[in-house]
Structure 1
Amino acid sequence: MGTGRRERGLRNAPPRPASTRRHPTRHARHADARPSHREYKTASRDPPITEVALSCSAAHLYSRRTTSARPPSAAAVRRGTPRHSVSDASPPSRSFLGRHQFLIYRLFSLSGLVPVGAFLVVHLLTNASVLGGPGAFQSRVNLIHSLGPLLVPVEWAFIFLPMLFHATVGFVIIANGLPNVGSYPYAGNVRYTLQRATGMIAFAFILWHVIHLHWLGAPLGGGRFDPHHASSSTAQALASPLVTAMYAIGILSAVFHFANGLWSLGITWGLWTSPAAMRRASAVSIVVGVLLGAAGLGALGGMRALDVDAAVTIEKRMEEFKRLQEGTPPMPATEPRGRAVSRRSGAADEAARDGGR
């Protein structure tokens, strides 16, 4: 009887105020932490914390973390606080690269293949033609220089300007990243770091190569290449073993940068996404790198083993035959630039020795 009367009294008793309930803080916290179904569906559409990678081929190397504003609690919503008061704030000002990062990175990867990569392949294969003799190399050089006045704008439009764009974006990527290959010595991490290192070496080598052989370097004491005496002038320019070693390092760096860039370009453009496709692409890039490296080193060996006197004779005959076909007067007897300089320096040494006697 006593128990039943007490239970009926509890059921009929009015509810106690919130201040006298047990654990009011805990109940309030749980009530605030449980948003309604509508609020939960709305909050679930907010993006979580994401990793923004600067390179798709090695996202663990160079990354920065961005966070989205968390939705407020249900109590804050009931108090009238706007849900997106934090995310609606004006975003901080970003640089030009930050605003157009997607487009610039796509153009960056594309310029590494065309036209910079295509020029590298054509250039190495043209130089490797010296293995067929001075005449074969001279024929290909004559074909290139048959463009005449158009050669200079073609070089700037399809070689130098794309190369400067590719190098500029590459240096920006390197400046914004911190390599951690010492902490994470994985194969992909090592390849990513070597890609950046060989890019810097290749860019420095190309600048020196232009000064050393190209006509643009003539005011600086370079420009050793003579298109009318292609084989002999190049052989004279590569006569020093130190110069040959520097060319070998530069060629191998450029070849690795291009071959490994083929693999990362396919990932950037979504050409191969599965592990099997990545392995096949890696095998193809290795084959391309080996073939181009062999062509470049073979060209260096062919230039070093070239008989300069025999090459000069062949080049003069080819030039006379070309002028005879064009109906132009024959050229005066000239020598390759490098050989003429060596002859003059040798004559000066002999005169000095004779004067000393």
Structure 2
Amino acid sequence: MSELTRSQAIFVRHEFAIRRLHSLLGIVPLGLYMCIHLTTNASLLNGPETFQRAVYYIHSLGAALPLVEWGGIFLPLLFHAILGVWIIRTGRSNLGHYKFTGNKRYVWQRWTGLIAFVFLTFHVLHLHGWFHASPWLAIVKPLGFANFYPYNAASSLAMSMDRFIWGFWPAFYLIGVLATVYHLANGLWTAGITWGLWVTPTAQERATKVCTVFGVVLALIGTAAWWAAVSPGPEEIAQARQIEDEMYDAAVQTGLAYDMPEKRYEGEAERTLEPELIVEEVVIEVIETVEPSETPGEETPSEKTPSEESATDPTPAAE
């Protein structure tokens, strides 16, 4: 038995549980997280204060944040994506023979899944760098990745959208967001089939309407989040940076945020500055000697030679 056949046998033997776990992780936690994530980013339209406050709440988890990221996002995403690629490779589409809407959605679901996986992979690299280890960040930052600073959320997000060939990142993010939204909305419908929630034609038609409305609303929210990230210009970015710095001082004092300079844009810039480029302040003390000025009516003492002194001395010479 070949390796591929053995893998197929394992999948067929546990297909019932694997497919349900695959669809469940696509909804919870991944789908739920995407809804929260897009809504949080769309709050940037209300101003950098709203967005920064939301980011502070997320990062208030402190040391537990990496556990939440890997346990609730990255590992489920890897499982869902790898299994999705396996399903694509082993599945067969009959769209070439039957141009039904269901067959088109079957193909679109798989293509948008691939686009979403590529998009999310580079999205995490572009903003967060995949890993937070300093040696790794020292490699990816000069390449234009790991651009997001949580304590300067709005300004660093807007700046990161313009740090490549003009128009690349905005177009990449818009296509990725819309593909991911479609994959989730249509995935809700297929998950209902997998879990036996709607099996009759009437129930499926009703579910189609609900999933369509959900997809349209989420696409609008995602587009609003995208526009809030790509639209600010240099002046808006500078204003956002000033607001974020003021909020940081207040957040540290109130305990909302930890005092972690590495999560600020300026703090990172100071740490990456070459030692030989750091110029210390040098105070040069200048001592200036001022000679006393002559007072009217007074004669400034001057040195005289003995001959001059005797010539001008009014005392009569001794006889």
The two structures have a TM-score, normalised by structure 1, of: 0.66
Matched with 2:227 is 301
Matched with 1:202 is 116
Partner Cα separation in structure 1 for residue 255 and residue 13 of structure 2:
55
* Count of paired positions: 252
Partner SS, residue 130 of structure 2: helix
Q: 1:287 to 1:333 in 2, by over 3 A?
A: closer
CA root-mean-square deviation = 2.8
Pick from 241, 250, 272: which aligns with 2:176? 250
Q: Is the 8 A contact 2:248 2:257 kept in 1?
A: no
Residue type matched to 1:226 in 2?
A: Y
1:220 positional shift: 2.5
Residue type matched to 2:221 in 1?
A: A
Query: 1:258-312 CA deviation, whole Å, 9 max, x = no partner?
Result: 0000111111111112212111111111111111111111112112233101100
Pick from 252, 256, 259: which aligns with 2:185? 259
1:169 and 2:95 correspond: no
Partner SS, residue 216 of structure 1: coil
Residue type matched to 1:129 in 2?
A: S
Pick from 270, 283, 287: which aligns with 2:209? 283
1:94 positional shift: 6.0
Partner Cα separation in structure 2 for residue 96 and residue 142 of structure 1:
45
Q: Is the 8 A contact 1:312 1:335 kept in 2?
A: no
Bigger mean CA offset, 249-258 vs 297-306 = 297-306
Partner Cα separation in structure 2 for residue 123 and residue 319 of structure 1:
22
Residue type matched to 1:151 in 2?
A: L
Residue type matched to 2:111 in 1?
A: A
1:324 positional shift: 1.9
1:334 positional shift: 9.9
Q: 1:101 to 1:244 in 2, by over 3 A?
A: same
- Ranked by relative contact order (alpha carbons within 8 Å, sequence separation 6 or more), the top structure is 2
Residue type matched to 1:238 in 2?
A: M
Partner SS, residue 207 of structure 2: helix
Q: 1:163 to 1:313 in 2, by over 3 A?
A: same
Matched with 1:310 is 239
Residue type matched to 1:146 in 2?
A: S
Pick from 324, 330, 343: which aligns with 2:253? 324
Residue type matched to 1:224 in 2?
A: N
Listed as ranges, the gaps of 5+ residues in structure 1 are 1-91, 345-357
Q: 1:96 to 1:316 in 2, by over 3 A?
A: same
Matched with 1:12 is none
Q: Is the 8 A contact 1:117 1:258 kept in 2?
A: yes
The two structures have a TM-score, normalised by structure 2, of: 0.73
Q: Is the 8 A contact 2:56 2:256 kept in 1?
A: no
Partner Cα separation in structure 1 for residue 257 and residue 52 of structure 2:
19
1:224 and 2:140 correspond: no
Q: 1:318 to 1:262 in 2, by over 3 A?
A: same
